[in-house]
Amino acid sequence: MITVSPTDFQIHLFHEGTFYKSYQLFGAHIVEEGGTVGTRFCVWAPHAVEVRVVGSFNNWNGEHHRLVKVNEQGVWIIFIPENLEGHLYKYEIVTRNGEVLLKADPYAFYSELRPNTASIIYKLDGYKWNDQEWQRKKKRKQIYNQPMFIYEVHLGTWKKKEDGSFYTYKQIVDELIPYVVEHGFTHIELLPLVEHPLDRSWGYQGTGYYAATSRYGTPHDLMELIDQCHQAGIGVILDWVPGHFCKDEHGLYMFDGEPTYEYINMQDRENFVWGTANFDLGKPEVHSFLISNALFWMDYYHIDGFRVDAVANMLYWPNSEVLHSNPYAISFLKKLNETVFSYDPTILMIAEDSTDWPQVTAPTYEGGLGFNYKWNMGWMNDLLSYMETEMNERKHVHHKVTFSLLYAHSENFILPLSHDEVVHGKKSLLNKMPGDYWQKFAQLRLLYGYLIAHPGKKLLFMGGEFGQFDEWKDLEQLDWVLFDFELHRKMDEYVKELVHFYKKQKALYELDHTPEGFEWIDVNNAEQSIFSFIRRGKKENDFLIVVCNFTNEVYHNYKIGVPLNASYKEVFNSDDVSYGGSGQMNRKTLTAVEKPFHGKPYHVCMTIPPYAVSILRPMRKRGERERNDSKKVRRHATRRGKRE
């Protein structure tokens, strides 16, 4: 049990910016003092004249519950000899100008259901985890040469109950997890789950960084959701916002009447575009608060990674016409990454960075920021711009597809088709595609096919898998009614098969982050808008030929250069009728012709389907094929026997 009095060393570390378990001191904790169980409150309010704790245990009157200031840097503490678990509370702070503020606890583990804003005294321990096998397997995996396909989810609008209310953390288990497993996604990324005031938001403007939002249930309920994900083989990534925070009056903003967690200078403090305040990343106590928060989610919630939001807004000073780098932010990000990786080397630290800042995913000892992944925003913007271009005009913007390969291996990239691209009038992914109804679906299948074939890990926002026609809606669930329509059902089946195909083909992920994993066959066919390339795995001759046609033309006997004198089999074609395509397939074996083409010593002649991706694989030796085929027959027979 945590003791009442903080040690001098803890206080020293906090003000030094290196108290990485500060949540064990600050906030409300049930503790023991001389055999008496009570509740300790501890808060940092450096400018306060007086601090009182008020709550449901004292009729919101703090007259007899004044905190004691333990040092000049503003750490305040009180021990109340009662077990106050479950009670509501706030800090009543008297400012230097005599104003009295009521503030939620920055370190609270739980909060009242909105629109109420009080903190709740909650004991986080006691949940029994059953994800030991997941943790063991995770330690053995090398993430860089493993498949990663992330499903990005906003819990409040993925699916709702018939009466329009939210599923709780516990209730969503039986809905979300089987769905994610069936589709083959390796991870889910949950949009911010920290306490935040507005249901109609994504959760990026937080007020309680240590409090899992109560709109979906209790902290233990969230632990169960994550635990069940792990038991099903699904990693969980949390969207996390260490750059800026909500300005609601009960939150961190002007916590003790003056800038505390935020910059003193208004030009640096105010985020005018988002209506938020920027964390003062030069302040050691803010380092202790934020880095502790990352470790807190790893420690108590077994989070597997963080998608760090708005890194660009941290790297550069805001509200300036000229880009000026922020040395405090750079130092903080390096320190953050060094700390979390020393705590758990398997953690995913993913930078959402829209700039060309160098070495974002390089180790800090090599001069990098220390993340291990970065969203490839340039790829996303260029490719979606290309897809929105009318077919006959695509030849004029050919470079929007090819440019990303010039820098594809400069960082460890994730290719995001994210929530940011389906709001604010941008249209859904399906509706971005030009052309008629059939052409929209064909081009979306092509887009997803190119996504899995391009170097980098993958991410798809919810609803994209079945062709959501509308943009994200803040008050409604996804349009599950679309499953009543054939092409949406087929799109969903296509994504399932595509993701499972991706996970089976080592050539599509083993060498994601090295140039040896990718080779152009024909990069210059702008006139026909056809791109062909090779993806390679680690083993010799483990490669795939990928051909993408971004027009509605069909070509027969089309020559494609290949590196190996072998027979080739089409192993994937997005134009398959079962996916809603036109059925322009390469059903027969394609035999290499010993005549150079596309700079390769051999070529094959194939059918190029319209608005589609076709993937070829060299066939193995005959004996090997027969053995493999017999194994498949036995396996399928076994399955039939089990079903029967």
Strand arrangement, sheet containing 36-44: 27-33, 36-44, 75-80, 68-69
Structure tokens at 357: 């800042």
In the block, tokens 């998608």 appear at: 307
φ/ψ of residue 475, rounded to 5: -115, -5
Q: Is the N-terminal amide bond of 115 cis, ω within 30° of 0?
A: yes
Beta strands 100-103; 88-94: pairing state: antiparallel
Say whether 180 sits in a helix, a strand or coil.
helix
Cα separation, 625 vs 616, in Å, equals: 16
**Pick from 125, 127, 88, 122: which is nearest to 221 by CA?**
127
Beta strands 305-308; 348-351: pairing state: parallel
Catalytic residue, chosen from 352, 465, 512, 575, is 352
- How far lies 103's CA from each of 207, 249, 254, 263, 281, in Å? 10, 8, 10, 19, 22
Structure tokens at 142: 């090398």
Structure tokens at 576: 């398959």
Catalytic residue, chosen from 92, 152, 285, 309, is 309
Query: Which residues lie closer than 8 Å to 588 by C-beta, 6 or more apart?
Result: none
What is the 8-class DSSP label of residue 515?
G
Cα separation, 169 vs 220, in Å, equals: 9
**Pick from 126, 123, 127: which is nearest to 40 by CA?**
123
CA torsion 18→21→23→26, rounded to 10°? -50
Known catalytic residue at 131: no
Q: Within a 13 Å sphere around the CA of 143, how many CA atoms are in the beta-carbon half?
A: 23
- How far lies 436's CA from each of 23, 441, 463, in Å? 55, 9, 20
Cα separation, 595 vs 590, in Å, equals: 14
What is the 8-class DSSP label of residue 616?
E
Structure tokens at 98: 């005599």
Cα separation, 342 vs 558, in Å, equals: 53
* Residues forming a β-bridge with 615: 546, 572
For 157-290, list the strands marked E by DSSP: 187-190, 194-195, 208-212, 235-240, 244-245, 270-271, 276-278
- How far lies 431's CA from each of 160, 434, 451, 467, 574, in Å? 24, 8, 18, 9, 18
Known catalytic residue at 352: yes
The residue type at 11: I
Residues forming the active site = 309, 352
